[in-house]
A and B are shown apart, each in its own frame.
Chain A
């Protein structure tokens, strides 16, 4: 084996990001690494590239134990990485990017001609016909990725890690990229391929390793797996019964009075037009793989990215959902997936974070009285069992699960009619997980409608009355009542992709 990882463990305060993970890579192999957000893929890669220091475990490269402490150290050892986005500098020329740090010099000055020549030599064999003296920003993302690969291979040459390299490429570009990867495989490089496009994984990889919640689920030869099995490994049957609670008694044919209706709602490059009706008190689940368009659906409904087509209606007529403010005015709420970036206001207190949406709705001139804010905060701290030293503690000091509960409290305090929860239980501990599911059941019983996006199928099965399956930026299936099982959802997700990826416009 070229690269061997044994029982790698990495902990962060409060969470175990990797828990005794084994992984190996042979020369001349493409080994795919799969898993949903938070499964531990990026932590594993960061331990390999020296961005993180591991807590336990062993990494050996060609039999030698290694512990890289920086990206450049990993590079020098032979491990090169190409990320989805930030790789190179678009404001420098292709040649500068390729030779950065090793520029040929004459009399202490960079020798431009030699630099160009060197760059052209580095690109030799990648079948790119480009002018290396132009800015990198002049070229498409696909070409940039290939240039990044060329740089990584030239600098490192043993192990190449490709971290979601195809996320923003169209089908043709993906093919070009894969041709490059195949040639490198033939040359004997060991390649780690991280992707959430299953077709690509089947197309390219020799073996697959699936991670989930920081643990390795399986390592298999790709040829021995089918899509359904793979998706089940990624999404299904991971939660213990005590988290999920009593499975929902799915009654066939139960009707909910219609609350909202989206007709032909869509946005180019984000999500194809879809029809969706939401019942009062209903829990809708949105299932799909990462990048399938599930988050995009939510953002569209909440006005974060206005719709290009279609309309949303309720009993009183058409709704204005052109901005989050408009959506909130229409009685919507949205707890986003990226809690730290889009959810919490880190420096403000729990009380203020809870009162924020309500305050924004009332306008600046009509403050929510402090006593009322305190009452709200104390109320929800108790109701949702938020672990905090008090309503005045800054939310940034709380654990992830408690931050999530505060964001939920912010919306519950608004008493919206339609609440969208994007991955409400990601990265939080088991106890909080169960509580949030319980909470969803409770508020819907009181008449609120909820849309849950989740990569935990068990979770959707436990709470959802209806599950919409999203694939390739289309809503492809709708399952109700007893149809909602792991098998049916996995099958719907696993149906062959239409294309490798939609062209994002």
Chain B
């Protein structure tokens, strides 16, 4: 119940968006079955939202530790390039996937070590990979758009399972899996503890260093999955444009999901709703015939609103008001008790 209450604002926003779009485009919610596949705008949103959704999962964990991972877009480019390269080299699907995921882990380890062991601020540490990573991706593709034709690989971009697009399935399953892992193991709580107060957590025996590295590895892995999806979708690796600016969308999705940039409490479901909101706005603007670029202004507006809501200054005022109200209530209750005696 509390989980549902947590995501209510995001659900309401999404519902309002969907209602608004449906008002103008009644076909928006229609899903048809064509050749055993579910086809419709909503399916499209689920499919196109895969990269942001996947990145948002990892980003949620990183932000929960009061960090940030700017390198995920670049990591997508690297892992996508490696996947395409291994396919063209004939390593087969398994080899390609393994190598791409391994590259994601390596990227995460790199970031995590810089943050947790060298003590570099996350934004600075991940900036290094963000700037140089595209060069590494281009090194792999040798500056070309590395195309391949491999149906197994392409499945991750355009295939479908039981009528549902594979990318949609992949990100929903990943998100569900990670969320399940976080809440069923103690990871969620430990990550939140480290994010709120690393010193106190370490004193209570939490292995903060390892946890920090782990969240960046998770973020790298999610980026690798997103990179595979992006590469599979276009049947090629574009080192220049794959995942370009997606790190910002992923951060935005996490922030729209109401997760605080100051670390602590996090909700993967809320981040995913954030990703869906972004993707729905995207699609809605396209449907309305506006140039897709208009959503930048909308995104900026969204960020501003959320910033105002999240601002520590504002929440302090809010807190004070609530405390005062609570005190008044307590006094009232106490005086009632007294008169009762």
Per the bound structure, the CA–CA distance linking A364 and B186 in Å amounts to 5
Q: Chain A nearest CB: distance from B38 CB in Å?
A: 37
Chain B CB within 8 A of A203 CB: no
Q: Tell me the nearest residue of chain A to B264, going by C-beta.
A: A347
Residues of B within 8 A of A (CB): 184-187, 189-190, 192-193, 196-197, 199-207, 264-265, 323
Q: B205 near A361 (CB under 8 angstroms)?
A: yes
Chain B CB within 8 A of A72 CB: no
Chain B CB within 8 A of A144 CB: no
Chain B CB within 8 A of A2 CB: no
What is the 8 Å Cβ interface bit string for chain A, positions 344-376, against chain B (1 contact, 0 not)? 111110001001110111111111100000000
Residues of chain B lying within 8 A (CB to CB) of residue A341: 197, 199-200
Residues of chain A lying within 8 A (CB to CB) of residue B203: 302, 304, 324, 334, 336, 342-343
Per the bound structure, the CA–CA distance linking A352 and B265 in Å amounts to 12
Chain B CB within 8 A of A410 CB: yes
Q: Tell me the nearest residue of chain B to A302, going by C-beta.
A: B203
Per the bound structure, the CA–CA distance linking A19 and B265 in Å amounts to 39
Q: A360 near B200 (CB under 8 angstroms)?
A: no
Residues of chain A lying within 8 A (CB to CB) of residue B323: 13
Per the bound structure, the CA–CA distance linking A120 and B264 in Å amounts to 50
Q: Chain A nearest CB: distance from B142 CB in Å?
A: 42
Q: DSSP class of B's interface residues: helix, strand, loop or mixed? A: helix
Indicate whether A347 sits within 8 Å of B187 (C-beta atoms), given known contacts A325-B207, A328-B205, A352-B193: no
Per the bound structure, the CA–CA distance linking A355 and B201 in Å amounts to 12
Residues of chain A lying within 8 A (CB to CB) of residue B202: 324
Per the bound structure, the CA–CA distance linking A360 and B204 in Å amounts to 7
Residues of chain A lying within 8 A (CB to CB) of residue B200: 341-345
Residues of chain B lying within 8 A (CB to CB) of residue A366: 186
Residues of chain A lying within 8 A (CB to CB) of residue B207: 325, 360
Closest 6 CB pairs of A and B: A360-B205, A367-B186, A328-B205, A360-B206, A357-B204, A347-B264
Per the bound structure, the CA–CA distance linking A105 and B196 in Å amounts to 46
Q: B187 near A410 (CB under 8 angstroms)?
A: no
Q: A364 near B185 (CB under 8 angstroms)?
A: yes
Which residue of A328, A334, A363, A367 has the most chain B CB atoms within 10 A of its CB atom? A367
Known pairs A346-B196, A361-B205, A364-B185; list 6 more (Cβ under 8 Å): A328-B205, A352-B192, A352-B193, A360-B206, A364-B187, A367-B185
Q: Tell me the nearest residue of chain B to A411, going by C-beta.
A: B204
Indicate whether A360 sits within 8 Å of B190 (C-beta atoms), given known contacts A334-B203, A342-B203: yes
Q: Chain B nearest CB: distance from A267 CB in Å?
A: 17
Number of contact residues on A: which range applies?
Answer: 20 to 34
Q: Tell me the nearest residue of chain A to B195, going by C-beta.
A: A347
Per the bound structure, the CA–CA distance linking A352 and B195 in Å amounts to 14
Residues of chain B lying within 8 A (CB to CB) of residue A345: 192-193, 196-197, 200-201
Q: Chain A nearest CB: distance from B254 CB in Å?
A: 17
Per the bound structure, the CA–CA distance linking A348 and B186 in Å amounts to 14
What is the 8 Å Cβ interface bit string for chain A, positions 408-446, against chain B (1 contact, 0 not)? 001000000000000000000000000000000000000
Per the bound structure, the CA–CA distance linking A410 and B201 in Å amounts to 12
Indicate whether A367 sits within 8 Å of B184 (C-beta atoms), given known contacts A328-B205, A359-B190: yes
Q: A357 near B264 (CB under 8 angstroms)?
A: no
Q: Tell me the nearest residue of chain A to B265, going by C-beta.
A: A347
Per the bound structure, the CA–CA distance linking A410 and B186 in Å amounts to 16
Residues of chain A lying within 8 A (CB to CB) of residue B189: 348, 352, 355-356, 359, 367
Q: A347 near B192 (CB under 8 angstroms)?
A: yes
Per the bound structure, the CA–CA distance linking A347 and B201 in Å amounts to 12
Which residue of A328, A336, A362, A364 has the most chain B CB atoms within 10 A of its CB atom? A364
Q: Chain B nearest CB: distance from A391 CB in Å?
A: 13
Per the bound structure, the CA–CA distance linking A13 and B320 in Å amounts to 11
Residues of chain B lying within 8 A (CB to CB) of residue A342: 199-200, 203
Per the bound structure, the CA–CA distance linking A410 and B205 in Å amounts to 11
Per the bound structure, the CA–CA distance linking A324 and B207 in Å amounts to 10
Residues of chain B lying within 8 A (CB to CB) of residue A348: 189, 192-193, 196, 264
Which residue of B187, B201, B204 has the most chain A CB atoms within 10 A of its CB atom? B204
- Can you give 13 contacting A-B residue pairs, CB < 8 Å? A304-B203, A341-B197, A342-B199, A342-B203, A343-B203, A345-B192, A346-B197, A348-B264, A356-B189, A357-B204, A360-B207, A367-B184, A368-B186
Q: A356 near B206 (CB under 8 angstroms)?
A: yes
Q: B199 near A364 (CB under 8 angstroms)?
A: no
Residues of chain B lying within 8 A (CB to CB) of residue A361: 205
Per the bound structure, the CA–CA distance linking A346 and B201 in Å amounts to 11
* B-contacting residues, A300-341, CB 8 Å: 302, 304, 324-325, 328, 334, 336, 341
Q: Tell me the nearest residue of chain A to B323, going by C-beta.
A: A13
What is the 8 Å Cβ interface bit string for chain A, positions 364-405, against chain B (1 contact, 0 not)? 111110000000000000000000000000000000000000
Per the bound structure, the CA–CA distance linking A21 and B199 in Å amounts to 36
Residues of chain A lying within 8 A (CB to CB) of residue B192: 345, 347-348, 352
Q: Tell me the nearest residue of chain A to B260, going by C-beta.
A: A347
Q: Chain A nearest CB: distance from B329 CB in Å?
A: 12
Which residue of B192, B205, B265 has the most chain A CB atoms within 10 A of its CB atom? B205
Per the bound structure, the CA–CA distance linking A165 and B192 in Å amounts to 38
Q: Chain A nearest CB: distance from B264 CB in Å?
A: 4
Per the bound structure, the CA–CA distance linking A242 and B68 in Å amounts to 52
Q: Chain A nearest CB: distance from B310 CB in Å?
A: 13
Which residue of A325, A344, A356, A360 has the most chain B CB atoms within 10 A of its CB atom? A360
Q: A344 near B186 (CB under 8 angstroms)?
A: no
Per the bound structure, the CA–CA distance linking A307 and B185 in Å amounts to 34
Q: Chain B nearest CB: distance from A476 CB in Å?
A: 28
Which residue of A341, A345, A363, A410 has the most chain B CB atoms within 10 A of its CB atom? A345
Per the bound structure, the CA–CA distance linking A362 and B205 in Å amounts to 10
Which of A304, A356, A367, A368 is within 8 Å of B201, CB to CB? A356
Residues of chain A lying within 8 A (CB to CB) of residue B190: 359-360, 364
Q: A325 near B197 (CB under 8 angstroms)?
A: no
Residues of chain B lying within 8 A (CB to CB) of residue A352: 189, 192-193
Residues of chain A lying within 8 A (CB to CB) of residue B197: 341, 344-346
Q: B196 near A359 (CB under 8 angstroms)?
A: no
Which residue of B186, B193, B265 has the most chain A CB atoms within 10 A of its CB atom? B186
